[in-house]
Amino acid sequence: MTQTHTPWGTGRMEPYAATATVPQVTPVIDPETQIAVILDEHGRRVDLGGHGTSTSGVTPTATNPGDGSGPGGATDADSTESYDQDESGDEC
């Protein structure tokens, strides 16, 4: 006879934490500025805070095969991504 064991993870399970209701918002285009704005459930504009601009760049890196004492060897390559954030954020 085969005995079935309870999976180990079920002993770690707990009820979900309490959640909060998120108010409904609607994105629309302002007809005068042609910029997207967010309206709450009552039609009032929601300020999402300042948003600046940023740039990013990817810098590739690689290792060369071998250590110079002989041919061949392992190679490895990856990249590093960098961001520059504009601190201006006066627009919504």
Structure tokens at 48: 């999402």
Q: pLDDT tier at 13 (50, 70, 90 boundaries)?
A: confident
Q: How far apart are CA 21 and CA 39, in angstroms?
A: 17
pLDDT at res. 28 = 93
Residue-wise pLDDT tens digits, 19-30? 888 888 899 998
Q: Supply angle C-alpha 7, 12, 15, rounded to 5.
A: 120
Q: What is the DSSP string of 21-42?
A: PPPPEEEEE-TTT--EEEEETT
Residue-wise pLDDT tens digits, 28-86? 998 999 988 899 989 998 887 776 666 667 776 666 665 556 565 555 666 666 666 66
3-state SS assignment for residue 73? coil
User: In the block, which residue shows the tokens 């991504």?
Assistant: 81
Look at residues 84, 88, 87, 91 and name the one whose alpha carbon lies nearest to residue 54.
Answer: 84
